[in-house]
Chains A and B, each alone.
Chain A
């Protein structure tokens, strides 16, 4: 039972354009959401997070949007850069002890 789903295994965008990565979840009790970025042969690194009491959080080129009624969150990267090419994981947690991850979306930013 996958409670966090990333339905797009891959996404390709042109450098300078917007990248939008999507994530859906099924458990309405999740109260904290995170995005992680992963390069090959490395562990995931934290990118940005959002609490369930907010609907938007911004950090530089990265913005996460949360739509609780739709159980959907998205990560926007503007402008996209070739160094952003990586696998992005969406994660959700009830408390810090049980974090559920999506399967990941591979982003390719073309120069």
Chain B
């Protein structure tokens, strides 16, 4: 049981480049989430999904898109990366209230 995994672990982008972060969970959870963590800010919800084929905006959705084509996967896309998107990104999944987090992806945008 791998739990929640995230790919890649680290990435450096140049301003304007695009990339996709992959989150996978093997716990058959309905709910999945993408957060970003910045110093002094805690975790902030970017987008979430309540089931396969559904997505919704969270607290800070601008500049990001998501897709949940399969129940076990939740993709986070940056179409045109900006330095303000330098952060640590965490994916989580949940059967209801308790969320299980992945190890994070550290993204730097130059």
Listed in ascending order, the chain A residues whose CB lies under 8 Å from chain B are 2, 4, 6, 9, 32, 34, 36, 41-46, 49, 89, 91, 93, 96-104
**Count of inter-chain pairs, beta carbons less than 8 A:** 58
The distance in angstroms between the C-alpha atoms of A44 and B88, with both chains bound, is 12
Listed in ascending order, the chain B residues whose CB lies under 8 Å from chain A are 4, 31, 33, 35, 40-45, 48, 50, 56, 58-59, 90, 92, 94, 96-104
Q: How far is the CB of B52 from chain A (nearest CB, A)?
A: 16
Q: Which residue of B lies closest to A51 (CB)?
A: B97
- Dominant secondary structure of chain B at its interface with chain A: strand
The distance in angstroms between the C-alpha atoms of A96 and B92, with both chains bound, is 12
Q: How far is the CB of A92 from chain B (nearest CB, A)?
A: 11
Establish whether residues B48 and A104, one from each chain, have CB atoms under 8 Å apart when the complex forms. no
CB < 8 Å: which of B42, B97, B102 contacts A93?
A: B97
Q: How far is the CB of A27 from chain B (nearest CB, A)?
A: 13
List chain A residues, Cβ under 8 A from B100. 46
The distance in angstroms between the C-alpha atoms of A42 and B6, with both chains bound, is 11
List chain B residues, Cβ under 8 A from A99. 33, 45, 99
CB < 8 Å: which of B31, B35, B41, B102 contacts A103?
A: B41
Establish whether residues B90 and A44, one from each chain, have CB atoms under 8 Å apart when the complex forms. yes
Establish whether residues A46 and B98, one from each chain, have CB atoms under 8 Å apart when the complex forms. yes
The distance in angstroms between the C-alpha atoms of A6 and B35, with both chains bound, is 18
Establish whether residues B101 and A45, one from each chain, have CB atoms under 8 Å apart when the complex forms. yes
List chain A residues, Cβ under 8 A from B50. 97
